[in-house]
Amino acid sequence: MIRFNKRTILNKAGIPAVCLSAIILFGSFTPDKKNFDIAKNLEIFNALMKELNMFYVDTINSEKVITKGINSMLGSLDPYTNYIPESEKEDFRFMTTGEYGGIGSLIVYRDSDTYISEPYEGMPAQIAGLKPGDKIIKIDGTPTHGLKSDKVSEMLKGTANTVVIVTVERPDVKEPITKEIIRKKIQMNAVPYYGIVGDKTGYIYLSNFTDKAAGEVKDALLDLKKNQQIESLVLDLRGNPGGILEEAVQIVNYFVPKGEEVLSTRGKIKQWDRTYKTTQEPIDTEIPLVVLVNSGSASASEIVSGALQDLDRAVIIGERTYGKGLVQSTRTLPYNGTLKVTTAKYYIPSGRLIQAIDYSHRNPDGSVGRIPDSLTTAFKTANGRIVRDGGGIKPDIEVEKENPANICFYLVNDLIIFDYANRYAAKHPTIAPIGEFKLTDEDYNDFKEFVKSKDFKYDRQSDKVLNELRKVAQFEGYLDEASEEFKALENKLSHNLDKDLKTFRKDIEELLTIEIVKRYYHQKGEIRQSLRKDEDLDKALEILNNKAAYDKILNINQNLKSKK
C-alpha cells in the first residue's frame, strides 16, 4: 500500500514549489484568496530575482538589492517595522541597553573626513586626551579619509579591553597625534543629569528609555528627596524618542498608587493583548510634579506624560508630543536576522489612543497625514478634565517660543560654532564656573571675524520667497513692468552678515556659550547651561510655586468637592 503525505499529494497536483511551501505554511489546501496571493507573489519574486541574476547586463549585488526590496516593503507599512540584519544587531542592542564596546565619543562627518565631536566624560577617548575637532586620519594604521562615519564608528567599536590605535590631526599642531586606547564597555546614562532648579524643585532629565531608565530615575528621585529635601519635581522628557514600554510603566508607578492602570495594548493576536498596571508601592504620590515635553517626545515618553495627565498626577508643559501610539515586538529571522514589527496599539488610562498618523489609510500617492483635530474624540481624566486622542499628548500649558533666527541654524549646521568653540578652548585652559561664565564683547568680535574668515554663506528665507515671487511674476507676465520694484526690494533684502551677526547676537551668543561650556564641563555642563534660559522650565517653576494655579489645572479642588 502506497502512503501519500500532504506534500506528495500537492506535488501530484502540479503546484509550484514556493506556492506549495506557502500552502503548508498558511494552512490546508483551500481556495483562500489571501493565502494564494501571498504564495503567488512569493513565486513571482523568486522567479524575478533568478532572471535578473542570470540576464541583467551588469553584476547584481543580490544581498543589497533584496535588502532594499525588503526595506521598501516594510517602509510601506509604518516607519517602525524594520528588518535588522545580523550586521546591525549591535546597534539595535545599543538602542535598548545604552551599552556598547568602544572609546566613548560622538563623531561627526564633514568634507570626506570624520572628526571627534564630543568625548564622553571619564570614557577612554577623553582619558586618552582626544578633543573635539580632532580629525581622525587612521585607525589601527588604516586611513579613514573618504570613509563614511558609520564605517569609522564600526572601526572604533570593539570588545571591551581590546586596544585600538587612533591617529588624529589637531588644528595648530604640526604633527599627527597617535593614541593607544583601551576600549571599554560604554554605558550611556538614561539620566545624564539631575539636580536642583529654583529653591526646592528637583529636576531630572531622562534622555531615553533603555532597560536601566527606571532604575536611574528612581536613584535620582530618592537622592533629591533625601539629600536635597525637594518640595516639587520637574521630569524633562523633551527630545526623548522612547524605548522600552515596561520602563515607562515603572516610572509612572513612582508617582501613583499600586494597582493603577497605566496602559493597555491591543493588536491582531488577541492572546497578546495586555493591560499594564502599577505593581509596586510608589515613592511619592503627593509631590507636585511637572513633565516637560516637545515634538520630539515620543512613544514611552508619551506613555509617561499621557498616563500622568490622564490620572491628573502631573501638569504637562511644553509642545504637543510626536504622537506614536504603536507597540513593536521582535521576531527571529533566518541567518540571525531580526524583524521589529508593529504588533499592537496602546491606550492610556482615559482610554485614548494618541497615535497621530493612520498608516493603514494612505493617500493615493502613498503619503500619510496627521489626524485632524476635528476628527479626534474627547475623553475624560480621573478628575473629569477633557483630553483628546489622535495627535500625541497636548500639554496642559503650551509654551510659545520665538523661532530662532535663520542664521543660527546655519552657524550650527555648518559647524561654525563648533569650530570656534574648539579654538576658544585651545586658547583658554579654564573658564569661570557655569552661571558665571559669559562671553565678552572682545570674544564676540573675535567670533565675528572668525565667521567672516570662513567665507560663511547661508540661505535667507526672504531671498527664497523673493525668487519664487520673481518666477511667478515672470510666468504671469508682470516681471518686466515690476523690474525696478524687484531690484529695490532685492537691495533692501541684500545679504548683510555684519547686520545679522549684530541683530541676532543674543541668540547666537547663547548657542556659542553652551558649546564652549561643553568643552570644559561636558554633557552635564551643557544641560545646566541650557537650563539657564529655558522658557518651559521657567513656566514649570511658575506653576509649581503657585499651588492654587497647579490645583486648578489638575481640577484637584473640584474633584474633592464632588467626592464630599
Q: Which residues are catalytic?
A: 299, 310, 324
DSSP per position, 23-83: HHHH-SS---HHHHHHHHHHHHHHHHHHHHHHH-SS---HHHHHHHHHHHHHHTT-TT-EE
Query: For 428-431, which contacts have Cβ atoms below 8 Å and span 24 or more sequence positions?
Result: 430/520, 431/516, 431/517, 431/520
Burial 289-313 (b: 16+ CB within 10 A, else e): bbbbbbeebbbbbbbbbbbbbbbbb
Q: Count CB-CB contacts under 10 A for residue 492.
A: 9
How many Å apart are CA 327 and CA 320, to the nearest integer? 20
DSSP per position, 300-366: HHHHHHHHHHHTT-SEEEES------EEEEEEEETTTEEEEEEEEEEE-TTS-----B-TTS--TTS
Three-class DSSP category at 444: helix
Cell representation of residue 469: 515671487
How many Å apart are CA 104 and CA 122, to the nearest integer? 9
Residue pair 130/170 in contact (Cβ under 8 Å)? The answer is no
Q: Which residues pair with 99 in a beta bridge?
A: 187
Spatial CA neighbour of 117 closest among 102, 98, 134? 134
Residue pair 451/505 in contact (Cβ under 8 Å)? The answer is no
Residue pair 235/204 in contact (Cβ under 8 Å)? The answer is yes
How many Å apart are CA 309 and CA 297, to the nearest integer? 15
Cell 502631573 maps to which residue?
Answer: 314
Spatial CA neighbour of 316 closest among 379, 230, 385? 385
How many Å apart are CA 499 and CA 451, to the nearest integer? 13
Helix (H) or strand (E) holding 407: helix 406-413
- Kind of pairing between the strands at 135-139 and 142-143: antiparallel
Burial 33-72 (b: 16+ CB within 10 A, else e): eebeebbeebbeeeeeeeeeeeeeeeeeeeeeeeeeeeee
